[in-house]
Copies of this chain bind each other. A is one copy, B any other.
Amino acid sequence: MVGVFRSIPIRSRLTRFIFGHPHGVSHHNYTMLSSRGVRSAGMLDIPWRYAPTQSYDKDTNPDGLISFAMAENIPMRKEIVKYINEKVTFTEDSIGYRPKPSTAARLPAALADHLNRNFKPHVPVDPNTILVASSPTALGGMLGYSLAEPGEGILVSRPMYGRFELDYGVEAGVEIVYADTGPVEAFTPAAVEKYEAALKKAEEKGTKIRAVLVVNPNNPVGRCYPPETLKELLKFCQKHQLHYISDEVYGLSVFDSGDPDAVPFTSVLSLDLSGLIDPKLVHVLYGFSKDFASGGLHLGFLISQNEQLQKACKAILRLHPASRAAVTIGTTILEDQEFVDSIIAKARNGLAASYKLATSTLEREGIRYVKGGNAGFFIYIDLSPYLPTDPGLSAQQREFSLAQKLVDAGVFLHPGEEHSKEPGWFRLVFSQEEEVLVEGLRRIFSVLKGK
Q: Identify the A interface with B (CB < 8 A).
A: 29-30, 32-38, 40-44, 53-55, 70, 72, 74, 77-78, 80-81, 84-85, 89-101, 134-135, 137-138, 141, 145-149, 152, 166-167, 170-171, 210, 243, 280-281, 289, 293-299, 306, 308-309, 311-316, 318-326, 329
Which residue of chain B has the shortest Cβ distance to A139 in the bound complex?
B319
Instruction: Decide: A293 and B95 in contact? CB cutoff 8 A.
Output: yes
- Contact flag A33-B309 (CB < 8 Å), given A77-B96, A81-B91, A84-B94: yes
Instruction: Decide: A95 and B40 in contact? CB cutoff 8 A.
Output: no
Instruction: Decide: B320 and A323 in contact? CB cutoff 8 A.
Output: no
A-B contacts, 25 of them at CB < 8 A, read A32-B147, A33-B146, A34-B210, A36-B146, A37-B312, A40-B312, A40-B316, A41-B146, A44-B311, A44-B314, A70-B97, A81-B91, A81-B92, A84-B94, A97-B296, A98-B296, A134-B323, A138-B321, A166-B318, A170-B315, A171-B319, A296-B323, A297-B325, A298-B321, A325-B326
Query: By CB atoms of chain B within 10 A, which of A84, A152, A166, A299 has the most?
Result: A84
Contact of A308 among B41, B78, B280, B320 (CB under 8 A): B41
Instruction: Decide: B95 and A89 in contact? CB cutoff 8 A.
Output: no
Which residues in B have their C-beta under 8 angstroms from that of A325? 84, 296-297, 323, 325-326, 329
Instruction: Decide: A34 and B326 in contact? CB cutoff 8 A.
Output: no
- Contact flag A98-B53 (CB < 8 Å), given A36-B146, A312-B37: yes
Which residue of chain B has the shortest Cβ distance to A147 in the bound complex?
B34
